[in-house]
Structure 1
Amino acid sequence: MLRTSLTLLAASAIVTALPQAVPATSTSSAPVFEIDGAKQYFAGTNTWWLSHILSDEDVDHALAEIAASDLKVTRVWGFGNTNNGVDQPVYFQYLDNTTMTITINEGANGIPRLDSVVRSAEKHGVQLVLPMLNNWDDLGGINTYCNYFGCNKTTFWTDPGAQEAYKNYVSFIVQRYKDSPAIFSWQLANEPRCPNCSTSIITEWARDVSRLIKSLDPNTRVSLGDEGWLCGGEDYAYSCIEGIDFEANLNIPTLDYGTVHMYYDQWGYTSDWGNKWITDHAALAKKHGKPIVMEEYDVKSTVSNQTEILQQWHHTILDTDIAYDSFWQFATDLTDRDPYDDYAIYYGTEFYDRVVIPHSKAMLAKTI
């Protein structure tokens, strides 16, 4: 997601009746993942907040509900940086630009929070995608490295000091959890961008960091976490203006699959355009022989035809060779905080039961 709001918003409203999703059959040789001992299609979700709440019981509660929904993977922030140690209730890395020291927070509001998520995911049979950097400023992103090293959003990707510190953090996270069966993928960043840069900058960065991760853990998937920006056209999403070439990155040998995000309204498109975005990327899975994931997508709860839009996208996903999709975002009642934003879909609501559950079951029923 682009940015994290700090305002509680209501759960999605229910509109017209949603027909049951029907099982589909893959008609191409596009690759899929093996999970739970089987090669299959499946659905997942995003719960960035799981690692940033202070209650083990809330973590366990949420993951139990995700498992009960047949959602096989959830994406959780593996980052949390601070420059002052007081601006976040939970943080993992402290880049203190007063004393010029970088430390891992081993306290109760630090890395033990991520430990709790990994343990609970193991218990419930849910796997995790862990991005280890945020392009955005929320919860300590590139900005915290640049506050320390004096870089900016475009020079970060090649700044020697910032890159050394980032790689040290990546190495710490990978080595800590590499033996856990709960890790689905190490992810380089959440929505990396280098606006108006040559796309080679992030491609080479992704090549370098993914190679490092594979040297530490050759057995676990690695993904970039980008939004899927394409090149070769004048249209915004196809213009490479954000400094990302999806196809070039998909061809990096040490990246195991491609990630795609979709927020049509934020990008200036109509909801119908979303079907083209899905099918264009699904075609690249077949072309390049790597799985492709719709990693973030949803429709704001304030949109009157939210149900119809999601239903159409789900049918498009089922009709193509998207390996799995994960909506933004799963939400549930917690004691510690509310997983708020205007895209949240709350577990146990009628909307959830009529939109999320049928799709997760349809993805699992899709034959290869």
Structure 2
Amino acid sequence: MKFLFVISLFLTSLTLASAAPSKPAAGLHQWSKRQTNTVSKPDGRLFNINGTTQYFAGTNAWWLSYLTSDQDVDTVMSEIAATQLKVVRVWAFGSVNSIPQAGTVYFQILNSTGSYLNTGADGLARLDAVVASAETHGIQLVLPFTNNWSDLGGIPSYNAAFGDNATSWYTSAPSQAAYRSYIEAIVNRYKNSSAIFAWELCNEPRCQGCATSVITNWAANTSSYIKSLDGAHMVTLGDEGWFAPADGIGDGSYAYGGDVGVDFTANLKIDTLDYGTFHLYPDSWGYNYTWGSTWIEEHDQVGSQIGKPVVLEEYGTPFPHNHTGTEAPWQTTVVNATQVAYDSFWQFATINLTSGSQYDVNSIWYNDTEYTVLARQHAADMLAKKVA
């Protein structure tokens, strides 16, 4: 989701000392020498977590790694666990081109000389807190390494450092070297944690006007590199699920035309990608809401043909729409008409924080009426769904 910050990054309430950046190779975290037997893996069209294969529901909470209070992180994780949501997608990126003002959380500095980590209290210590809390509460994490959009740096911050653009980034030697340096640091930091569900290449990668082979080749090469660092955990792309004309699906309109350089079918066939992702925002894409169920079924059919799990990784409808009225039918399609392994609504929100608030127009607020239907009941329905 190309989200807008409707508030400042809720970081102004605390002032943290900015740590000097270090090269990614510097220092090993507490997880680096620990081994875990809890590894999530594909099991046919579904996933097996800690020995159990089942359908389940999840959510997105990108902002968890930007909360400045460990207690707030634990509050969120406990609320998610109480809802029976199994997987949470949290941003594992945050790049800047120069050291920001004190109190700003960031993980990486990018400049013409390369990629440097901020491992301090206002850096990866925040992501450490998320991983530790997820372990405590039995939550699995999907961790994307960068963002197509400029929010929290993303690909544009690489372009600013190395002189690339939105399309050249995927084949730029300096950008990809810095990106892989960051991947190496994050994977090696957390690969022995029991909380890792999957590594994700990018949030919503696009290459506007490019041949779809550009992203397919990049995804194949990058996922293979990640597997060389960590062969135990799953890897996924993080794309929106666009189809290309070669797929023979749809009417050739925006979601099916290949204009953004993504071919869901070709990407799902990559050996080193363990499952496919797709997103659903009809309001932003020019489709009606009932089309959403068609979109879900089309991706399920491709997953069935290829024999891999597919995940409805993000979906939402903006205010003033009735979230339950628009999104519950999609959830019904997931439960009753597909083998979609899990789905994650965008996004979880709660008022029970001390270090600020987070929300956007798609948020589903903990324990309100919509949450009861779209989170609690849906999570229960997915867990109760029979595994064939």
What residue ranges of structure 2 are gaps of 5+ in the alignment? 9-42, 246-250
Please state if 1:315 is matched with 2:318.
no
Please state if 1:264 is matched with 2:277.
no
Aligned with residue 81 of structure 2, among 67, 85, 91: 67
Give the match for residue 56 of structure 2: 42
Cα deviations by residue, 1:60-105 (Å, 9 ceiling, x for unpaired): 10001000000000000010000122168111001145xx453100
Give the match for residue 297 of structure 2: 279
Aligned with residue 173 of structure 2, among 140, 149, 160: 160
Q: CA deviation at 1:298?
A: 1.4
Please state if 1:188 is matched with 2:201.
yes
Give distance in 1, aligned partners of 2:373 and 2:105.
34
Aligned with residue 96 of structure 2, among 63, 73, 82: 82
Give the match for residue 302 of structure 1: 320
Letter of the structure 1 residue corresponding to residue 332 of structure 2: H
Give distance in 2, aligned partners of 1:96 and 1:150.
10
Letter of the structure 2 residue corresponding to residue 56 of structure 1: D
Task: Report if aligned partners of 2:115, 2:181 keep a CA contact under 8 Å in 1.
Answer: no
Give distance in 2, aligned partners of 1:2 and 1:123.
30
Q: CA deviation at 1:348?
A: 1.6
Q: CA deviation at 1:191?
A: 0.2
Q: CA deviation at 1:30?
A: 6.1
Give distance in 2, aligned partners of 1:7 and 1:91.
17
Give the match for residue 146 of structure 2: 133
Give the match for residue 164 of structure 2: 151
Give distance in 1, aligned partners of 2:99 and 2:367.
36
Give distance in 2, aligned partners of 1:46 and 1:82.
23
Give the match for residue 346 of structure 1: 365
- The alignment partner of 1:90 has SS state of coil
Give distance in 1, aligned partners of 2:272 and 2:356.
37
TM-score (norm 1): 0.91
Aligned with residue 47 of structure 2, among 33, 41, 56: 33
Give the match for residue 197 of structure 1: 210
Please state if 1:217 is matched with 2:230.
yes
Aligned with residue 337 of structure 1, among 345, 356, 366: 356
Q: CA deviation at 1:36?
A: 4.0
| Equivalence map 1:168-187=2 (5 Å) | 168-187=181-200
- The alignment partner of 1:136 has SS state of coil
Give distance in 2, aligned partners of 1:272 and 1:101.
46
Give distance in 1, aligned partners of 2:176 and 2:295.
32
Identity of aligned residues (%): 50
RMSD: 1.4
- The alignment partner of 2:379 has SS state of helix
Aligned with residue 52 of structure 1, among 66, 71, 76: 66
Task: Report if aligned partners of 1:43, 1:73 keep a CA contact under 8 Å in 2.
Answer: yes
Task: Report if aligned partners of 1:7, 1:341 keep a CA contact under 8 Å in 2.
Answer: no
Cα deviations by residue, 1:28-59 (Å, 9 ceiling, x for unpaired): x9610012421100000000000011110110
Letter of the structure 2 residue corresponding to residue 80 of structure 1: G
Q: CA deviation at 1:173?
A: 0.4
- The alignment partner of 2:358 has SS state of coil
Give distance in 2, aligned partners of 1:244 and 1:172.
27
Please state if 1:365 is matched with 2:384.
yes
Give distance in 2, aligned partners of 1:324 and 1:344.
19
What residue ranges of structure 1 are gaps of 5+ in the alignment? 9-28
- The alignment partner of 1:102 has SS state of strand
Give the match for residue 12 of structure 1: none
Give the match for residue 324 of structure 1: 342
Q: 162-171 vs 294-303, which deviates more?
A: 294-303
Task: Report if aligned partners of 2:56, 2:86 keep a CA contact under 8 Å in 1.
Answer: yes
Give the match for residue 23 of structure 1: none
Aligned with residue 254 of structure 2, among 230, 233, 236: 236
TM-score (norm 2): 0.87
**Greater than 3 Å deviation, 4+ residue runs:** none
Aligned with residue 94 of structure 1, among 83, 89, 109: 109
- The alignment partner of 2:88 has SS state of strand
